[in-house]
């Protein structure tokens, strides 16, 4: 199994966001009130710990996206995402209409993540070991599911913990509309746990949107609370912040009621993700936002972030 890991160099500017322009539809700016409430909900700052026990959870919330230049362009929409404990994942009749690696109306497919071939537990452990990250505890994956067999996943997040619950690394897994995938591994250089809401950075090395060049960097912030999850990813180029994106939701175990809410409340959700991406791309093209040709993807599947 090859999990080639390449270090990224520190960008000259501040970081960038996991999804570029229209092709990032599934991330967006965390509002000031959301960030404030998240901060207030953290009783004591410190290492983020695992507090929810259900192995498969669902978060219902909102996805937001704002482009600042050369024309301001913003949108948001309701949605949902899964939170799964990968190191103990098993299909045990979790909810009607939900399946793991089998046909169902609402599904999680292992091949949609990692290198697409290696069992996910083995893949993420190998990535962490090659990076020298000591994370031998729970691994949680936040991602969009397949709905009616279809999925497009602009970004997914792996949260890798130590046995005592301390969060040691986060892997941001990015897909583009060309069928390519790249991962950014985020951790502290001194091997200390990641703090709740800590700002993490990675140099952009992977093409996502034709309306953003492959330069600049990403800035990440995560809040994982007992009842909610917030991921904020901003993209910065040489002129400063360009995209502000966020994905947030209230968590609950994925049971019969939550599965019905996901399916009947958002029956075309994942198909809508790709439809929105292309619609927003048309609007940016119409606004004459500069277009960038797609370069070759990086040879390494995983690159390291920086402080």
pLDDT digits (tens, 9 = 90+) for 69-99: 888 888 888 999 999 999 888 877 788 889 9
Angle at 223 between CA 221 and CA 225, to 5 degrees: 175
Does the structure show a pLDDT above 70 at 286?
no
Pairwise pLDDT comparison (56 vs 212), residue with the higher score: 56
56: β partners: 84
Q: Is the pTM of this model over 0.85?
A: no
Peptide bond preceding 214 in cis form (omega within 30 of 0): no
Does the structure show a pLDDT above 80 at 225?
yes
Q: Where are the domains of the chain?
A: 5-41+54-304
- With CA atoms as reference, report the closest residue to 86 among 153, 173, 158: 158
If you average pLDDT over every residue of the chain, what do you get?
80
Confidence of residue 45 (pLDDT cuts 50, 70, 90): very low
Confidence of residue 213 (pLDDT cuts 50, 70, 90): confident
């Amino acid at each position: 199994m090859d999990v080639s890991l390449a270090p990224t160099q520190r960008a000259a500017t501040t970081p960038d966001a996991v999804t570029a322009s229209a092709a990032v539809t599934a991330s967006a700016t965390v509002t000031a009130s959301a960030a404030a409430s998240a901060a207030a909900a953290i009783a004591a700052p410190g290492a983020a710990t695992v507090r929810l026990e259900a192995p498969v959870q669902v978060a219902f919330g909102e996805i937001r996206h704002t482009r600042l230049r050369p024309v301001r362009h913003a949108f948001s929409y309701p949605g949902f995402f899964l939170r799964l404990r990968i190191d103990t994942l098993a299909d045990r009749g979790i909810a009607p209409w939900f399946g793991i690696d089998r046909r169902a109306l609402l599904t999680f497919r292992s091949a949609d993540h990692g290198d697409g071939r290696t069992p996910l537990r083995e893949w993420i452990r190998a990535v962490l070991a090659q990076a020298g990250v000591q994370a031998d505890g729970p691994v949680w994956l936040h991602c969009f599911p397949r709905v009616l067999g279809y999925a497009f996943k602009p970004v997914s997040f792996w949260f890798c913990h130590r046995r005592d619950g301390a969060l040691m690394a986060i892997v941001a897994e990015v897909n583009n509309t060309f069928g390519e995938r790249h991962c950014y591994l985020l951790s502290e250089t001194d091997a200390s746990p990641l703090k709740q809401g800590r700002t993490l950075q990675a140099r952009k090395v992977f093409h996502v949107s034709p309306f953003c060049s492959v330069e600049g960097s990403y800035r990440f912030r995560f809040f994982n609370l007992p009842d909610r999850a917030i991921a904020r990813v901003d993209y910065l180029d040489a002129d400063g912040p360009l995209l502000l994106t966020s994905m947030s939701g209230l968590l609950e175990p994925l049971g019969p009621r939550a599965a019905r809410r996901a399916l009947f409340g958002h029956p075309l959700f994942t198909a809508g993700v790709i439809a929105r991406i292309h619609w927003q791309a048309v609007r940016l093209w119409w606004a004459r936002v500069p277009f960038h040709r797609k370069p070759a993807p990086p040879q390494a599947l995983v690159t390291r972030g920086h402080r």
